[in-house]
Copies of this chain bind each other. A is one copy, B any other.
């Protein structure tokens, strides 16, 4: 298996865990866990493949992805009560999934010879849209948009680092590892140490 499918498998598995945890917060049944877990798992990569006009969406070409996501969601259904804090687990699973989904997006776009701007966008979109769909459908405040945290910024910086590395002819596996490391470091730093960018502050809106 090549490196990019391996990243896709890892992202699918970990995002499915995060989706199932959100399903547990919404007190769904086991099929609801599988539904939200799968939506989260394949949402970002599906958008990437549709935007890039790939011949087949990755999980339509290889149904093993959805089977894996379903297994992960069922596992969470039976074990989530063992977790100390489901919300903390959700955020860390989501951070790990982000750190493999962004390089998965960058890797696919590079393999199709996309423009560097497009490569960066595909990294961000693959990383962010699965979790965004999960949160919109389940009516949670999107993690992507939480004030005072690095999320899109982590995805963007990682995707930019990986794309830049590829431009200066670093070997692909190294570029994707760099992409993953930068994404995870920024997201984890934000969760652990409160790293953030200044947010927009204004006079209170008058409407």
Summarize A's interface: helix, strand, loop or mixed.
Answer: helix
Interface membership of A172, Cβ < 8 A = no
> With A118-B63, A141-B139 in contact, do A29 and B197 touch (Cβ < 8 Å)?
yes
Of A3-11, A49-57, A98-106, A176-184, the one contacting chain B is A49-57
> With A32-B145, A66-B121, A141-B139 in contact, do A27 and B200 touch (Cβ < 8 Å)?
yes
Which of A30, A199, A200 has most B Cβ within 10 Å? A200
Which single residue of chain B is at the shortest CB-CB distance from A148? B29
Looking at the assembled complex, report how far the CB atom of A74 sits from the nearest CB atom of chain B, in whole angstroms: 11
Chain A residues with a Cβ under 8 A of chain B: 23-36, 38, 46, 50-53, 55-57, 60, 63, 66-67, 77, 80-81, 85-87, 114-115, 117-118, 121, 124, 128, 132, 136-139, 141-142, 144-145, 147, 152-153, 156, 196-203, 205-207
The complex places the Cα of A203 from the Cα of B156 at a distance, in Å, of: 36
Contacts of A34 in B (CB 8 A): 156
User: Across the interface, do B138 and A137 meet the contact criterion of CB distance under 8 Å?
Assistant: no
> With A29-B196, A198-B29 in contact, do A132 and B137 touch (Cβ < 8 Å)?
yes
> With A52-B60, A152-B31 in contact, do A24 and B115 touch (Cβ < 8 Å)?
no
Contacts of A196 in B (CB 8 A): 29
The complex places the Cα of A25 from the Cα of B201 at a distance, in Å, of: 9
Contacts of A60 in B (CB 8 A): 51-53, 114, 118
Looking at the assembled complex, report how far the CB atom of A62 sits from the nearest CB atom of chain B, in whole angstroms: 9
